Amino acid sequence: MKQEQEKIKPLHLKQEELISALPKEIGNVKLDYGHYPGRDLYSDGSIEDELLAIVKNSSRVEFPKIIEEKGSWPILYHLSPLRANIVDFLPIGKEHKVLEIGSGCGAITDKLSEKAGEVTCVELSAKRSHINAYRNQDRDNITIHVGNFSDIEPKLPSDYDFVCLIGVFEYANSYMQTKTPYEDFLKIMHKHVKNNGSLVIAIENKFGLKYFAGCKEDHVGTYFSGLEGYPEGGSARTFTRSGLERIMKNCDIDEYSFYYPYPDYKFPTVIYSDKRLPQVGELTNNMRNFDRDRMLLFNEKYVFDGIITDKLFDIFTNSYMVIIGKQPETIYAKYSNDRAEEYMLRTELTETKTGKEIRKIPLTPDAKTHVKKMEHYYDALTMRYAGSGLSINACKWLEDAGYAVFPYEKGRTLEALLDECLERDDMDGFYRLFDKYLEYISFNEERAVTDYDLIFANILVDGDQWTVIDYEWTKEEKISSKEIAFRAVYCYILEEEKRNKLNLDYIIKKLSITPAEADEYREKELKFQKSVTGKRKSMGEIRATIGTYSVDPKMLMERYLQEILDKRIQVYVNSGNGFSEEESYYLPDVYVEENLIEAEIPFDGNVTQLRVDPADRCCIVKIKTMLVNGQAVPMNKKYLITNGKALENDTYVFATGDPNMTVMVSELPMSGENTLSVELEIAYLPEGIAAGMATGKKGFFR
């Protein structure tokens, strides 16, 4: 026993020396290794070294460019500022303490430390903690505890204003070795929340629509795993809304609110709640397969529209965000932070004691000027449209709060009303609405102030009241109403293929727009979009750079079925009346290998000719065996006639979609019951290649 202890002692010292050599501070970030086991128990491999090098040598503002250049899912996932949208809208202030479990490489820590007074992180991996610390080294309010959760947790205080489990709750089975790990994990985390504090959970929905539509399950990477109840196991488990509610009920938690990050909680652009659910037509951004290839089983936008209509969105949303505790004032948040720095903002709907209001909040110092101008735009546009019947939603900039506020207006968007007209083929109704729109926007056209983004979605209609609710892109210059109307229609059609039924030529004629003007307006729109995005790539462009594929199984199925049809072997029988479809049949199960068929074809003594069609497409056929009653069929025109070109004595190329070979069985010894035995090797060809081979063009045979 003494000898064994002596063997262990050097290892223990080596571990202590290794831990003591780790940095206790990186910049202003503090790291605590009091419960670190001395080695990382999990790792994503070399990508973590690459991430560490990036955050050591690059600042936050450089991350978007690096993401675009690398074209890598892990780089996008860990460095994208859009990850932080999931917590950005939470009412976290400098007076608050925040606990983040599973902080990883710091994508969420970044935003939490920007908002809060103090952030405590718990993370098992030292390397990931170092990535977190380097990317946030300018923040002096972060402490990262490195080590196993079960060792660190008992030492944590119970006075946190916010406890965040972002992409963590699904792994509770790894944190808790109990029979009820999710309930036990939730109880433990809840006790660290102070009175009137909040516990925040973000997690995938087990029944998220994207999984039905053909996305692979996020954690195990296979199709339909969550939907089927994880039959192949794995450490993660996701839940439906009722499943999460059942867990909370088992923990005696009854104060909570559900939010719905869209498209999902990883890169949310909009966050809905039960008090502001999505409306028909809003959920169009569904191609989110950055990490894996996916199937496209159906158009999620149209299915979401039906789900919304039937009030089932909370069942099929892709992700949940559960806030345990008092519900925040914000009941809806929409992010516009995939833009140039000076235009980044968050639009939110809040419920205050005095009622609902809309807020536009700048997300960068540079964007403050942009948002602040909206109050001036309100005054200018109100003056232009005074007396027109078109009202402008009032704006007030609150200097102390640092955002602009707007009254919450009721009504339906003009876009939705136009869509309804198209759906019921009411073109008269569509053009009546469009004519009224054109009348309104043309009012006082000579004024040097124009809302360039006066699209249909930015106008609310409530009876006879038409209200412009978003005029962010107002220009203090004169722009013709026909250009504004053209842009509105152009954007309207581009956003939805069902709108292609709209006669754009009619509208262009109505607006008296020449082809040259239309080209000019499209070019201006392209330049405008580039100015807004700051030449950044969209998430769709980044997805294309990463190189994942979206495959339509319906198309593959049609191709596969056509291939089966094309490869069918059809036999025609001539008993003296010629060949006919009525006297033909298909041979089942004749492929013994992918390109090899073997068949025994019986025929009676009245048959004079047997025709074998080896396919319904261009092909090359090598006759390996062709016997009648065991006797070889001679390869000459007395016994075998084909519509193919002979390449060799027993090989033919068919440059036709109806290849055939006719065996003159009456020229061969027969009896009452006979058999044609064939063994054919077939290679299928594109029509052009088959035609070239059949005409004997040089290059095909030498």
Distance between CA atoms of residues 571 and 682, nearest Å? 16
Give the count of beta carbons closer than 10 Å to the beta carbon of residue 52: 17
Of residues 700 and 94, more confidently modeled = 94
> 108-112, 255-259, 430-434, 550-554 — which is least confidently predicted?
550-554
Task: Identify the weakest region by mean pLDDT among 348-352, 471-475, 502-506, 516-520.
Answer: 502-506
User: What single-letter amino acid sits at 81?
Assistant: P
The pLDDT of residue 419? 94
Q: List Cα–Cα distances, 300 to 284, 303, 351, in angstroms.
A: 8, 5, 30
Mean pLDDT of the chain: 93
For the cut 60, the answer to whether the pLDDT of residue 527 exceeds it is yes
3-class secondary-structure state, position 445: coil
Alpha carbon distance, N-terminus to C-terminus of the chain = 80
**Higher-pLDDT residue of 377, 557:** 377
Residues belonging to the chain: 702
Quickly list H helices, 364-442. Answer: 365-385, 414-423, 427-441
**CATH number given to 2-39+47-276+315-329:** 3.40.50.150
- Coil/strand/helix, residue 231: coil
**Residue-level pLDDT at 538:** 87
CB atoms within 10 A of CB 517: 16
Percentage of residues in the chain with pLDDT exceeding 70?
97
Q: Per-residue pLDDT tens for 628-674?
A: 999 999 999 999 999 999 998 899 999 999 999 999 999 999 998 99
C-alpha span between 283 and 309 (Å, rounded)? 13
Question: Which range has highest mean pLDDT (9-13, 241-245, 584-588)?
Answer: 241-245
SS3 state at 5:
helix
Task: Say if CB 386 and CB 374 are below 8 A apart.
Answer: no
Q: Mapping DSSP to helix (H, G, I), strand (E, B) and coil, where does residue 669 land?
A: coil
pLDDT score of 349 more than 60: yes
Q: Give the span between the Cα atoms of 643 and 656, in whole angstroms.
A: 8
pTM (two decimals):
0.85
Q: What is the pLDDT of residues 425-434, one digit of tens each?
A: 999 999 999 9
CATH of 411-524 given 2.60.40, 1.10.1760, 2.30.30, 1.10.510: 1.10.510
From residue 246, alpha-carbon distances to 173, 249, 252, 432 in Å are: 17, 5, 10, 51
Predicted pLDDT of residue 289? 87
Model confidence band, residue 472 (pLDDT cutoffs 50, 70, 90):
very high
Which DSSP string do the residues of 350-378 spell out, in sequence order?
Answer: EEETTEEEEEEEESSHHHHHHHHHHHHHH
> With contact defined as beta carbons under 8 Å apart, do 358 and 347 qualify?
yes
Tokens of 395: 């704006």
Kindly tell me the number of DSSP H helices and DSSP E strands found in the chain. 23, 35
Q: Is the pLDDT of residue 131 over 70?
A: yes
Dihedral pair phi/psi, residue 280, rounded to 5°: -55, 130
Q: pLDDT confidence of 1, banded at 50, 70, 90?
A: very low
For the ranges 2-16, 170-184, 285-299, the lowest mean pLDDT is seen at 2-16
Phi, psi of 153 (to 5 degrees): -55, -45
Query: Which residue in this structure is represented by tokens 């709640």?
Result: 273
User: 137 versus 5: which is more confidently predicted?
Assistant: 137
Confidence of residue 565 (pLDDT cuts 50, 70, 90): confident
Cβ atoms of 694 and 701 within 8 Å: the answer is: no
Pairwise CA distance, residues 222 & 559, whole Å: 24
Q: Is the pLDDT of residue 584 over 60?
A: yes
Distance between CA atoms of residues 371 and 529, nearest Å: 18
For residue 223, the 8-state DSSP code is: B
Q: pLDDT class for 17, splitting at 50, 70, 90?
A: confident
- Arithmetic mean of pLDDT, 563-570: 87
Q: Is residue 279 within 8 Å of 332, Cβ to Cβ?
A: no
Q: Mean pLDDT lowest for which of 100-109, 186-195, 320-329, 587-596? A: 587-596
Give residue 233's pLDDT band: very low, low, confident or very high (50, 70, 90).
confident
- Say how many C-beta atoms besides its own lie within 10 A of residue 11's C-beta: 10
pLDDT score of 488: 96
Task: Inform me whether the pLDDT recorded for 224 exceeds 60.
Answer: yes
- For residues 264 and 274, give the distance between their C-alpha atoms in angstroms, rounded to a whole number: 16
Q: Where are the domains of the chain?
A: 2-39+47-276+315-329, 342-372+374-407, 411-524, 558-694
Query: What count of other Cβ atoms lies within 10 Å of the Cβ of residue 233?
Result: 7
Cβ(165)–Cβ(201) below 8 Å: yes
Residue in the structure block whose two tokens are 């996020």: 218
Residue 160 and residue 193 in contact, taking contact as beta carbons nearer than 8 Å: yes
Model pLDDT, residue 697: 52
Q: What's the pLDDT band for 698 if we cut at 50, 70, 90?
A: very low
Provide the token pair at 26: 């990186």
Residue type, 620: I
pLDDT tens sequence across 484-496:
999 999 999 988 8
